[in-house]
Amino acid sequence: MATKPPSEAAPAAPPVTVPFRMVLVSMLVLWTTYFALITVRSLVMDFGLQFEMGWRRFAVTGVGVAFTMLLWLLLRLFDRKPLWLKISAAIILALPVALGIGQVNQWVFEDIQLAQERAYAAKYNLNLRRDEAGNLLVDVPVRRISPAAPGVSGATAQEEVIGSESVLIAPAVTYADFWRRLLHVALGRYFLLLAWASTYFALLAGVQARAAERREQQFRSAAKAAELRSLRYQVNPHFLFNTLNSLSALVMTGKADRAEKMIQTMSRFYRHSLANEPTADVSLKDEFDLQRLYLDIEAVRFPKRLASVFDLPEDLENARVPGMILQPLVENSVKYAISAVARTVTVTVAAREEFDRLLITVSDDGPGVPQGAGHGFGIGLANVRDRLEARFGPDIGFTSAPVPGGYRTEIRIPLTRFATRHD
């Protein structure tokens, strides 16, 4: 079997990816929800400094979207990998991204703690300060109580402030404290990123499923086209074989004028039949014209035994039918009716509309199915039935049987028309 050269090889299917717009919307929805929930929590807990915390929270949310975009760029590398590998990549890659968001959060909110300390001190009239080591201290007054003078009626003890003393409230932040806080913040963002990664994988699975459905439909259409083409190609060689035999007989018996007429009609027939793509529909008028040419060819062989009648209403001329669908039926009439008797046999090809369906009949007034009808008789009928089912599905009617005074085949298919007459 010949193979295609590299330049003609079928192109590889493009990778299936989630559209960027869909990815961006998913990120914005996630982080907007996060921003709203954290803001509501801050209001309910009355953390204070809502404006100062609000714009910082908004900035961190924007950074979160940017870092999530980075995570998406990394996860895209695993779009075509197995699911277990995608999940593993998300679990591993989300951790450094979450740490990055946590670090930015620490930087942005670093000065807000000092502002909160000042606000708290002002609210409760406290003297809060940090020493050089970073320890948080509060200055409390030191009082001395002087006892009442002995023997003095009504004397009370005296309380006197003699100075102040610094009390340690919170020690300075150590390196270990820094990492504990960072991990505390990062873990919350980590699970947020994993939630988004799960959403992304779900979107990717949906896109891939739709792409697979489209490919399956394309393959199914290609397979049906190949089936139609195969069935159509079965017609021409059979007809050509019979016609060449007839032409040979005319030449050998010295009937050169009739042989020349047959050759010219054959030329017109094949020019007409090969003008259309094998799987394409043709107008019913074209199909009837093609069968006229075929019977003209056969009339050269049977000038006194073949008569034909074509009945095609004008409003059905542009009806759609598979190309050369009537050829095996007309050929059977010639082979098993006209060739089997010495009298004139009339082949009738007719069409009409019945309840929005197209009814086409091919009939003859020959002997019906003669004794010893060859295997080709059934093959031709099966070919027509298979082509109709491949083209229209099960929504067809096909009957072929002897009738009083001859043989009749009926085709019922959905009636569809070309927009204009198909020439």
Could you read off the pLDDT of 48-105 as tens digits, one per residue? Answer: 667 777 788 888 899 999 999 999 999 999 988 898 999 999 999 999 999 998 888 8
pLDDT at 262: 79
Nearest to 77 by CA among 92, 62, 89: 89
417-421: long-range contacts, CB 8 A cutoff, minimum separation 24: 417/318, 417/319, 417/320, 418/283, 418/318, 418/320, 420/318, 421/283, 421/285, 421/317, 421/318
Q: Which residue spans of the chain are classified as CATH 3.30.565.10? A: 234-414
CB 326: neighbour CB atoms within 10 A? 24
pLDDT at 67: 93
Q: What is the DSSP string of 144-171?
A: EEEPPPTT-TT---EEEEEEEEEEEEEP
Query: Residue 345: which region, alpha, beta or left (left: phi > 0; alpha: psi -120 to 50)?
Result: beta
Look at the domain 234-414 and name its fold: Heat Shock Protein 90 (3.30.565)
CB distance 13 to 208 below 8 Å: no
Could you read off the pLDDT of 199-243 as tens digits, one per residue? Answer: 999 999 998 888 888 887 777 766 666 655 665 555 556 567 767
pTM of the predicted protein model: 0.48
Distances (CA, A) of 308 to 266, 267, 298, 395: 18, 20, 11, 30
pLDDT at 4: 42
Exposure of 403 in the CB half-sphere (CA atoms within 13 A): 12
Q: Which residues of the chain have pLDDT under 70?
A: 1-14, 46-49, 111-129, 131, 133-175, 177-178, 221-239, 242, 272-279, 370-377, 420-423
Q: Give CA–CA dist 297/240, Å, rounded.
A: 11
